[in-house]
Amino acid sequence: MAALVSGPPRPIDLGVVELTAPDGSRIVRAFVNVTSFGLGGLTDRIVNASPKWLGGRAAFFLGALRALLVYRNVPVRVTVDDQVFVEGPILNVALANGRWFGGGMLVAPDADPADGAFDVIAFEDLSRPQGVLMARHIYRGTHVGEPRVSTTRGRTITAEPLASADEVLIDLDGETPGRLPLTARVIPGGVRIRI
């Protein structure tokens, strides 16, 4: 407790995202941990509409399984610092400032919240069974290097569905504020916290 009161503040990066709200307007939101889109956005919608008595880890695991039953991989284009990173169907893409999300998933094992860049992790065109099997790797942080998992780092990310009729929901630190298209930028040292 003393460290919270008297410890020196540490700067960490802030993510700022411009996205499409449910009503179609463009809005701006900030995040400190992880923004993702695809299965993650649908999972958040399911979890946030479900009872909370299960606790975070179980709620997100069951929410992800329920989402996998109805989610279809949507073709998107993701650019990182003006270079195409992914163009095709995705299960989920995470823009990570922090390492953990979704009730204990180690989605970005090498992320540093004070390095001035996002770790970008794309789970590309995985089938439902492959997605279920990938979950154990994500909880352990051993998914990096697995087939159809791509990673990179960058400061500015854009993402859009390749077909304008496709709705790709966004997860922003556990909330579902809207859908693609999005533009995300890092503000280095944008927040100061005491640890």
How confident is the model at residue 54, as a pLDDT?
59
Interval 157-187: pLDDT, tens: 999 999 988 999 999 988 889 999 999 999 9
| Distance (Å, whole) CA 171 – CA 133 | 21
Mean of per-residue pLDDT scores for the chain: 88
| Distance (Å, whole) CA 32 – CA 146 | 27
| Distance (Å, whole) CA 33 – CA 96 | 6
Question: Does the pLDDT at position 117 exceed 90?
Answer: yes
How confident is the model at residue 59, as a pLDDT?
67
Question: Which residues are registered as beta bridge partners of 88?
Answer: 76
One-letter amino acid at 22 equals P
How confident is the model at residue 61, as a pLDDT?
67
Q: Give 139's pLDDT tier (boundaries 50, 70, 90).
A: confident
If one compares 101 and 93, the residue with the highest pLDDT of the two is: 93
If one compares 18 and 69, the residue with the highest pLDDT of the two is: 18
Q: DSSP 3-state assignment of 138?
A: helix
State which of 106-110, 134-138, 161-165 shows the largest mean pLDDT. 106-110
Structure tokens at 16: 């700022």
Reference 31, options 40, 130, 132, 89; nearest CA is 40
Question: Does the pLDDT at position 121 exceed 90?
Answer: yes
Question: Which residues are registered as beta bridge partners of 118?
Answer: 154
| Distance (Å, whole) CA 164 – CA 142 | 34
If one compares 2 and 75, the residue with the highest pLDDT of the two is: 75
If one compares 91 and 54, the residue with the highest pLDDT of the two is: 91
pLDDT > 70 fraction of the chain, expressed in percent and rounded: 87
CATH class of segment(s) 10-193: mainly beta
If one compares 101 and 185, the residue with the highest pLDDT of the two is: 185
Reference 33, options 87, 108, 86; nearest CA is 108
How confident is the model at residue 9, as a pLDDT?
87
Q: Where are the domains of the chain?
A: 10-193
Question: Does the pLDDT at position 149 exceed 80?
Answer: yes
Average pLDDT over residues 50-69: 66
